[in-house]
Every structure is written in C-alpha cells, then in structure tokens.
C-alpha cells in the first residue's frame, strides 16, 4: 500500500497519457453523439445523465492533460464542443438539437472543475516543473 500512492500520483502527472485519453474520449463522444445507434450502446436511460457523465470526464481529463491551463479556457472550449455536438445533431435526420443537453454539459463541466485528486487548484504552483526538491 505504501508504494501504491506514489504510483497513482505518477500516473496522474503523466500529461501525454491524459492528452491521449482526451483525444480518444473526444473521438468516442463525437461518434456516440452522431451515430444512429442501430445496435445497443451501454448508457443511461436518461440522455442528460449521459451528457453529465461525459463532460465531467472530459473536464477532469483536460485538467490532468493541461494542468496550467486556466479554467476559462478549457470550460469555454468544452462548452463550445457540447454546443457544436448539438448543432451537428440538429442536422442529422435521427437526432435533435437540445438546449437541455448543453445545460447538462455545462453542469458536468462545473462538477469537473471541483477539486479532484491529481488536479491543480487555482493559484497553486505545479511542483512537477519546480527545480527545487521537496
């Protein structure tokens, strides 16, 4: 157990890993948001819960991938992504635009901005880039 926590912290600080996870997540969400879903996809029966969970995950992964990026940048980019998904869905014959989905995305972003293990709090220095040993 004493070796587990340093390993977890090491994984949480692997920026390239989290950037790759973010890319895969965006691609998967884009696919799921635009597919006609002719086969069963594991998800909640409530579409808003799916949006909430997806944007919590996107926000946390973005914070891990770019820990020095300000909240205004990633929150607005993720909300823009959610709005773009809805615009794309509005142009698909089997999907609809829903402002409630965008609101669920925003709530997911807000929850993802809460303090989570491995994420940097606003104003906190990032010790990974510090030349000083602890």
Q: What is the pLDDT of residues 81-108, one digit of tens each?
A: 999 999 999 999 988 899 999 999 999 9
Among residues 64, 56, 49, 58, the alpha carbon closest in space to that of 114 is found at 56
Token pair for 109: 């972003």
Give the number of other CB atoms < 10 A from CB of residue 107.
Answer: 15
Is residue 111 within 8 A of residue 71, CB to CB? The reply is no
Tokens 């950037």 locate to: 19
Q: pTM of the predicted model, to two decimals? A: 0.81
Q: How confident is the model at residue 13 (pLDDT cuts 50, 70, 90)?
A: confident
| Three-class DSSP category at 102 | helix
pLDDT tens, position by position, 41-73: 665 668 899 999 999 999 999 999 998 888 999
Do the beta carbons of residue 78 and residue 26 sit within 8 Å?
A: no
pLDDT category of residue 40 using cuts at 50, 70 and 90: low
**pLDDT, averaged across the chain:** 85
Query: Length of the chain in residues, anyone?
Result: 134
Quick one: average pLDDT of 107-131? 69
Domain ranges for the chain: 15-35+42-119
Closest C-alpha to 120, from 60, 54, 55, 57 = 60
* Helix runs in 3-98, H state only: 4-12, 15-34, 47-65, 71-90
């Amino acid at each position: 157990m004493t070796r587990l926590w340093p390993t977890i912290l090491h994984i949480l600080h692997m920026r390239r890993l989290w950037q790759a996870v973010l890319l895969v997540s965006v691609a998967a969400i884009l696919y799921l948001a635009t597919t006609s879903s002719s086969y069963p996809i594991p998800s909640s029966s409530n579409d808003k819960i799916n949006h909430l969970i997806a944007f919590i995950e996107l926000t946390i992964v973005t914070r891990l991938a770019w820990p020095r990026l300000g909240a205004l940048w990633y929150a607005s980019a993720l909300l823009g992504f959610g709005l773009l998904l809805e615009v794309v869905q509005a142009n698909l014959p089997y999907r609809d635009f829903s402002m409630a989905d965008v609101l669920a995305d925003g709530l997911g972003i807000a929850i993802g901005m809460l303090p989570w293990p491995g994420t940097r709090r606003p104003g906190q220095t990032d010790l990974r880039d510090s030349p000083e040993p602890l």
